[in-house]
Amino acid sequence: MIASRGRQPEDRTTGWGLDRVTVRFGRLTALERVSLGVGAGAVTAVIGADAAGKTTLLRVLVGAVRPSEGRVRRPEKRQVGYMSAGSGTYGDLTVDENLAFAARAYGLSRGVARSRIGELLDRTDLMAARRRLAGLLSGGMRQKLALAVAIVHEPELVVLDEPTTGVDPVSRAELWRLIAELAAAGTAVLMATTYVDEAERAGSVLVLLRGRPLALGTPEEIRRAVPGELYELGGRIDDWRAWRRAGRWRVWSPDGRAPEGARLIEPDLEDGLVMAQLAYEASQPEVAA
């Protein structure tokens, strides 16, 4: 386990999160009435396209952005670990020095810091690279270092902004192992991602679209909540909302009516997200051109 503060996965509370939070930057509304609970001992994922408001939501939770409306529940600063999208590590410091700085910043004593850094270097397989400059690490290694920096002080809440974006599949798997270990040790983990397969592994998922909450629940709940039916076809069909996937066409039927020659299929989370977005757009009043 990475977080070894002795908290057990079973002592869970839904402590942290946002209640109807709205964030405005001038005339731009980055988040609109978003609520989200981040439970201890679980991974919560925020998924959405670029500019959906994922980073703003994370920054609100860690206290880097003040909400215009709504309430934020977060632990005191020392109990929050944050990994920003830019990784937040110092490229001109070594792996060891980056960790030592974070440990000192969070007030860890020298002895505790030393053993904690050793433990994290082991867990992240960075022991051999401990004297290497962070700027010279591969993308995956640097992300692992950033994660280690974010959790060096064993926080209760860990917030990760797209921790696996741009890293190779092996490093992604390793990062996920580390994140899963964190949750298993009782830490509340909130992460933003653009990958549906990652969101699928999370305990609960918030889907954001242009700053608005589109869906919230377990991946299964989100799949089930999508209105209408999903069909599969070999070719494109006019007048239906369809998208191409794995060489075939998926067709969303809001009223369940089947297109000719189509086969009814069970949507997975990726289909569910597309359908939720289509349903949302269909519900919006058309703007005259």
Partner 1 sequence: MLAMALKELRQLARDRRTVAMMIVLPVVLLVVFGYAARFDIDKVPTIVAGPAADEAASNLPSRMDVIATHPEWGRDQAIDALRRAQATVVVIADPQHPAVLVDGANLFGAQSVLRALAANPSLPKAEVLFNPDLATSFVMVPALMGLVLVFIGTIVTSLGVVRERQSGTLEQLAVMPFRPRDVFLGKVLPYFGVAIVDLVIVVVAGLWIFGVPFSGAPWIFAIGALLFLFVALGMGVLISTVSQNQGQAIQLAMMTLLPQILLSGMIFPLDSMAIGVRWIGYLLPLTYFVQIARGVMIRAAPFDALLVPMGMLLLLGVIVFGLSVLRFQRDLAPSGTGSRHRRSEAEASA
Question: Given the rule CB under 8 A, which residues bind partner 1?
Answer: 23-26, 28, 30, 51, 53, 55-56, 59, 62-68, 76-78, 80, 82, 84-91, 102, 105-107, 211
Query: Cβ 107 to partner 1, closest distance in Å?
Result: 7
Q: Both tokens of residue 51? A: 């500019």
Which is closer to partner 1, CB of 107 or CB of 234? 107
Tell whether the torsion through CA atoms of 166, 137, 116 and 127 is positive or negative.
positive
Residue 57's closest CA among 23, 89, 29, 80? Answer: 23
Shortest CB 231 distance to partner 1, Å: 35
Q: Which is nearer to partner 1, 153 or 250 (CB)?
A: 153
Question: What type of residue is 92?
Answer: D
State residue 172 phi and psi, 5-degree precision. -60, -45
Amino acid at the residue 140: G
Instruction: Give the nearer residue to partner 1 in terms of CB position, either 101 or 243.
Output: 101
Residue 24 Cβ vs partner 1, minimum distance, rounded to whole Å: 8
Give, as one character, the DSSP assignment of residue 188.
E
Q: Is the CB of 20 or the CB of 248 nearer to partner 1?
A: 20
Query: In terms of DSSP H, where are the helices of 126-235?
Result: 139-151, 169-184, 196-201, 219-225
Q: Which is nearer to partner 1, 49 or 127 (CB)?
A: 49
Q: Residue 182 Cβ, how far from partner 1 at the closest point, in Å?
A: 17
For residue 163, give the 3-state DSSP assignment.
coil
CB of 25 to partner 1, least distance (A): 4
